[in-house]
């Protein structure tokens, strides 16, 4: 069964739990943003305490995709600070992992994270899927491009992070200048996952997404239109194929103060569907 449609919840309102559903990493705090019960595939926020460390060669049997939100994670001697990104395929050798000062990391896993001692068996690790590190903050504007996915959204930019060579799935940072808007509803033929990192992103029919807002946008669900007085930056990835936008009709005025009307189909998440807290200037 696929993950339930979710538009949208606030990560700040979700509880911390110990370990992942189905087990794995029992010494870490986890917030579950979405999960596929059959496989354990999930999107989470993981909190590593200061001084946490594991050494000795080991590997995961699932893919691990990560974006550091706070602190610093060190994997095989490579430091991942705020906004650092990686996609580490199943079987990737984890000789050492530590969080000397602690870290909070958005972590997407393709299954329950089973960690196995020793080297991966032949054929498990696929180097074509590896993105070992993109350190976005020190790179500044390097790698950012104009939005290639739609002609309607001038004033928006994209920082590509990965493109799956087999499925065409993408992970990107997506940002917009202030006062950007689009007077259309739209959807996608694949899942679009969204996590707001900064700014506001108003969507007429579901509310104003703020930092920490998370969505698992199932295919063929129209939402919109959207606009932002502040500008925004968010992490986006597709699941099931490349990003393609499908637009509805023109002529719907944007409500920049759209009331929160969540569409949260998960029974586990519904109690935490609360309005985001918008920052004010006074």
196 touches 234 (CB < 8 A): yes
Do 199 and 123 fall within a single domain?
Answer: no
Do 110 and 193 fall within a single domain?
Answer: no
Q: How confident is the model at residue 24 (pLDDT cuts 50, 70, 90)?
A: low
Considering 96, 114, 135, which residue would you say is the last residue of a domain?
Answer: 135
Q: Rounded mean pLDDT of the chain?
A: 91
**Residue 166's pLDDT is what?**
97
Instruction: Give me the half-sphere count of Cα atoms (radius 13 Å) on the Cβ side of residue 246.
Output: 11
Tell me whether residue 216 is in a domain. Answer: yes
Considering 84, 102, 135, which residue would you say is the last residue of a domain?
Answer: 135
CATH number for the domain including 53? 2.60.120.10
Do 32 and 112 fall within a single domain?
Answer: yes
How many domains does the chain fold into?
Answer: 2
* Structure-token pair, residue 227: 């606009």
Do 79 and 160 fall within a single domain?
Answer: no
Do 227 and 267 fall within a single domain?
Answer: yes
Do 56 and 33 fall within a single domain?
Answer: yes
Tell me whether residue 239 is in a domain. Answer: yes
Do 156 and 260 fall within a single domain?
Answer: yes
Do 92 and 153 fall within a single domain?
Answer: no
**Residue 150's pLDDT is what?**
64
Q: Report, as an integer, the average pLDDT of 16-21.
A: 76
Tell me whether residue 105 is in a domain. Answer: yes
Q: How confident is the model at residue 152 (pLDDT cuts 50, 70, 90)?
A: low
- Predicted TM-score (pTM) of the model is 0.93
Give pLDDT tens digits for 72-106: 999 999 999 999 999 999 999 999 999 999 999 99
Give pLDDT tens digits for 220-248: 988 989 999 999 999 999 999 999 888 88
Give pLDDT tens digits for 159-207: 999 999 999 999 999 999 999 988 888 899 999 999 999 999 999 999 9
Checking DSSP bridges between strand 94-99 and strand 145-146, what pairing results, if any? unpaired
Do 82 and 172 fall within a single domain?
Answer: no
**Residue 27's pLDDT is what?**
82
**Residue 2's pLDDT is what?**
81
Number of neighbouring beta carbons within 10 Å of residue 58: 17
**Residue 101's pLDDT is what?**
95
Do 50 and 83 fall within a single domain?
Answer: yes
* Structure-token pair, residue 139: 């790179």
Tell me whether residue 47 is in a domain. Answer: yes
Do 116 and 164 fall within a single domain?
Answer: no
Could you tell me the residue range of the domain that residue 35 belongs to? 14-135
Comparing CA positions, the residue from 158, 210, 201 lying closest to residue 178 is 201
- The DSSP 8-state label assigned to residue 260 in this structure reads P
Do 84 and 156 fall within a single domain?
Answer: no
Considering 88, 111, 135, which residue would you say is the last residue of a domain?
Answer: 135
**Residue 67's pLDDT is what?**
98
Q: Report, as an integer, the average pLDDT of 146-161.
A: 75
């Amino acid at each position: 069964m696929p993950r339930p449609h979710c538009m949208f919840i606030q990560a700040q309102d979700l509880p911390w739990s110990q370990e992942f559903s189905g087990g794995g990493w029992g010494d870490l705090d986890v917030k579950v943003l979405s999960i596929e019960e059959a496989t354990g595939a999930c999107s989470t926020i993981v909190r590593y305490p200061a001084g946490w460390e594991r050494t000795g060669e080991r590997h995961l049997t699932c893919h691990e995709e990560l974006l550091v939100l706070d602190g610093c994670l060190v994997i095989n001697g490579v430091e991942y600070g705020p906004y650092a990104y990686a996609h580490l395929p199943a079987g990737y050798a984890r000789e050492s992992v530590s969080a000397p000062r602690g870290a909070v990391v958005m972590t997407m896993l393709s299954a329950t994270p089973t960690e196995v001692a020793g080297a991966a068996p032949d054929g498990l690790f696929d180097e074509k899927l590896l993105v070992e590190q993109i350190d976005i903050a020190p790179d500044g504007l390097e790698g950012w491009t104009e939005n290639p996915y739609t002609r309607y959204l001038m004033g928006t930019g994209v920082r590509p992070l990965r493109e799956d060579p087999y499925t065409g799935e993408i992970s990107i940072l997506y940002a917009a200048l202030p006062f950007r808007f689009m007077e259309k509803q739209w959807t996608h033929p694949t899942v679009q996952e969204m996590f707001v990192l900064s700014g506001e992103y108003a969507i007429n029919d579901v509310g104003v997404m703020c930092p920490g807002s998370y969505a698992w946008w199932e295919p063929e669900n129209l939402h919109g239109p959207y606009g932002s007085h502040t500008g925004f930056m968010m992490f986006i990835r597709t699941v099931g194929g490349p990003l393609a936008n499908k637009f509805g009709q023109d002529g719907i005025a944007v409500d920049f103060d759209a009331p929160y009307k969540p569409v949260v189909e998960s029974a586990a998440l519904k109690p935490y569907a609360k309005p985001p807290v918008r920052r004010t200037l006074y």
